[in-house]
Structure 1
Amino acid sequence: MNPALLVREAMATRLVTVPPYTSLTDVAACMRDADVGCVLVASGDTLHGVITDRDITVRITAEGLIAGAATAHQAASGSLVTVGPDASICEASALMCAHAVHRLPVVEEGRLIGLLSLSDIADTPHAQEILVALVCAHANH
């Protein structure tokens, strides 16, 4: 496997962000308009949370709350798992696996600079090797 393949080489840098006070109706419209299933809740380059389309369904709709009254901050995932840009793709994949997440915000010196998703990893030249390494590591635990 290529140990030099870094998160910064595969991450997306065109990010869809919303401020924490954004209504979930506006968040959903933002997802629709940008054709994404995830937005980052941020103030400037400071990350506060991540909202997926599933979060809106499970945290808001299923709990009987009204999306127009709820804010991005209320729906965002509570525990953030992030990765640095100089981590290897394999390290990032292991983080995703350990925390059962499909996306990792990329943070450098406290600043949001990117987003790494499973599809970004699948687009790397070593995706199959990374998957095999993860399966082997999981089998050894």
Structure 2
Amino acid sequence: MELDTLMTANPACCGRDTPLREVAMMMSDNDCGMIPVVDEQGKPLGVLTDRDIAIRAVAGGKDTTRATAGDYMTSPVRSVPVDTSLADCCAAMESGQVRRLPVVDMDGRLCGVVAQADIALNGDPSKTAEVVREVSKPS
């Protein structure tokens, strides 16, 4: 199975200077828990998760009214090329202990996101169990 058949193509993304509140609204509008942060050419710089916002910003007592995606994004970003096999994508998720991976085209521009849920809905049940187990191990 190819990544482009199971990933979310053309995902919502933001720039480093996008206000944190706007990113949270994007997550709500798109029913997702991660927004890739890209540069002017559309190349991933980092990712911002709902957990980053809740734990790093809100629970950390930070001033979220002036915060931007760049202030709280996880960087450097892990990504996989669109021609990556499903097995290699799963291995990358497992080794990085991440539930979502940006997918880039041949020019390194964001073209999709593959999530653990995509694998669960479209992949082999035993592979899904393995990914969930490895991603969820305490670090």
Q: TM-score range by the shorter chain?
A: 0.7 to 0.9
Give the aligned residue type for 1:22: T
Between the two proteins, the alignment pairs up a number of residues equal to 131
Within a 5 Å distance, the mapping from 1:75-90 to structure 2 comes to: 75-90=72-87
Q: Note the residue ranges of structure 1 that are not aligned, 5 or more in a row.
A: none
What secondary structure, in the 3-state scheme, does the structure 2 residue paired with 1:17 have? coil
What secondary structure, in the 3-state scheme, does the structure 2 residue paired with 1:21 have? coil
Within a 5 Å distance, the mapping from 1:1-141 to structure 2 comes to: 5-42=1-38, 43-108=40-105, 109-124=107-122, 126-131=123-128
Instruction: Return the TM-score normalized by structure 2.
Output: 0.84
What secondary structure, in the 3-state scheme, does the structure 2 residue paired with 1:45 have? coil
Give the aligned residue type for 2:62: L
Q: Which has the larger radius of gyration?
A: 1
After TM superposition, the runs of 4+ consecutive aligned structure 1 residues lying more than 3 A away are: 131-135
> What is the percentage of aligned positions where both structures have the same residue?
32
How far is the alpha carbon of 1:25 from its aligned partner?
A: 1.2
Instruction: Return the TM-score normalized by structure 1.
Output: 0.83
How far is the alpha carbon of 1:14 from its aligned partner?
A: 3.4
